[in-house]
Amino acid sequence: MKQYVVAASAAASMLFFANTASAHVTVLPAESSTGAWETYTIKVPVEKDVPTTKVAVKMPTGVEFEQYETVPGWTTKVDKSGKGTTVTWSTEGEGIQAGQFQRFTFVAKNPDKAGDVAWDAYQYYKDGSIVEWTGDEDSDSPHSMTDIVKSTTSGHSHGGAMDSHGQVKSDEADDDHDDDSKLPLTLSIVGLVLAVVALITSLRRKK
């Protein structure tokens, strides 16, 4: 029985980790190529009991914002100041409710130099509170990171950027969304399997 309790605790920890990780504001893909025109998607979950009505993301140094995809019910503002470019999505409607998430898509040109870029994001709740996703990886509110790797092609293109008509392609972004949304479920299943195995082992030993 002791082993069952330990396994159950481990499973619960894994479930908690999965839920916590999925609650962070993230920008995908997590890896892209130097000089590429990339389609990025910011995923905004709600971790409070009040809705999110605005989210802003600051373009990292060297990343050139190009265009955004409209979202019904949301207004998009692009602020290109001397301190860089910030894109803000806001709504006068109900916003993103508790237990929900919303995706916002935009196209930007990656820097020509390889390295990590950090996406500072700001999440505004209807009660006036703000969560600043600007911390390091180990902080309570880490900013999302994208690893810019050296391009192996001369055209600096990347699947999922823009088509010949200048429209945003979202096939690759959709694949990243699927992988991102399946991670918490996968971790949950693994934790439950471990707990069941431990329970069966414990019962057999008692006999």
- Kindly report, residue by residue over 119-131, the tens digit of the pLDDT: 999 999 999 999 9
Q: How far apart are CA 13 and CA 11, in angstroms?
A: 5
Instruction: Find where tokens 């990025």 sit.
Output: 40
Asked if residue 50 belongs to a domain, the reply is yes
Asked if residue 187 belongs to a domain, the reply is no
- Tell me which residue range forms the domain holding 47: 24-173
Asked if residue 4 belongs to a domain, the reply is no
Asked if residue 6 belongs to a domain, the reply is no
Mean pLDDT rounded to a whole number for the chain? 80
Q: Work out the widest C-alpha separation in the chain, in whole angstroms.
A: 73
Asked if residue 131 belongs to a domain, the reply is yes
Kindly state the percentage of the chain with pLDDT values over 70.
65
Q: How far apart are CA 170 and CA 11, in angstroms?
A: 35
Entry pTM = 0.68
**Element of type H or E holding 117:** strand 115-125
**Domains of the chain: total:** 1
Asked if residue 93 belongs to a domain, the reply is yes
Q: How confident is the model at residue 95 (pLDDT cuts 50, 70, 90)?
A: very high
Q: Are 160 and 172 in contact (CB under 8 A)?
A: yes
Asked if residue 139 belongs to a domain, the reply is yes
For residue 97, the domain's CATH number is: 2.60.40.2230
Asked if residue 149 belongs to a domain, the reply is yes
Question: Poorest-confidence range of 70-84, 100-114, 136-150, 185-199?
Answer: 185-199
- Kindly report, residue by residue over 44-87, the tens digit of the pLDDT: 999 999 999 999 999 999 999 999 999 999 999 999 987 799 99
- Please tell me the predicted confidence (pLDDT) of residue 184: 61
Instruction: Find where tokens 């991670």 sit.
Output: 183
Number of residues that make up the chain: 207
